[in-house]
């Protein structure tokens, strides 16, 4: 059974940092492109960052570029999102997602569409106060 379990969320003040993790039980993890999405209160889910199977390609939403960094450890079946310079508008439930395909040039468009992603986690809450 495929499971994606996010952790690392919490409450921080503006300007602070958090590191989200997503533990993935899928085999082989290295064949899945991964993404982070978020859903602010009362809004639709939106793509934040994506990474290819081999970490050779990454893509970021304009709103987080330069502040967030996506990475993965294929030996540990884990996906990460390092978030710094957090702003109140980053407040949201954060989800990781997996797609059984190599994506590089299509990563950006995949972040704009929920359909390509095969599996989703349950989410971890991030709250940024001003």
What tens digit of pLDDT does each residue of 18-65 get? 999 999 998 899 999 999 999 999 999 999 999 999 999 999 999 999
Residue 75: its pLDDT value, please?
95
Residue 117: its pLDDT value, please?
96
Cis bond leading into 108, ω under 30°? no
Residue 123: its pLDDT value, please?
98
Arithmetic mean of pLDDT over the chain: 96
Percent with pLDDT over 90 in the chain: 96
pLDDT for 2 beyond 90: no
Residue 119: its pLDDT value, please?
96
Residue from 28, 22, 18, 19 nearest 54 by CA: 28
């Amino acid at each position: 059974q495929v499971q994606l379990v996010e952790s690392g969320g919490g409450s921080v003040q503006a300007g602070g940092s958090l590191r989200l993790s997503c533990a993935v039980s899928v085999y082989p993890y290295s064949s899945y492109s991964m993404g982070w999405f978020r859903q602010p209160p009362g809004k639709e889910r939106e793509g934040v960052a994506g990474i290819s199977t081999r970490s050779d390609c990454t893509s970021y939403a304009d709103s987080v570029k330069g502040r967030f960094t996506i990475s993965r450890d294929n030996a540990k079946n884990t996906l990460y999102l390092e978030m710094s310079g957090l702003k109140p508008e980053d407040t949201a439930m954060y989800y990781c997602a997996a797609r059984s395909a190599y994506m590089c040039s299509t990563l950006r468009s995949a972040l704009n569409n929920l359909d390509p992603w095969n599996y989703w986690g349950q989410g971890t809450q991030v709250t940024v106060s001003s």
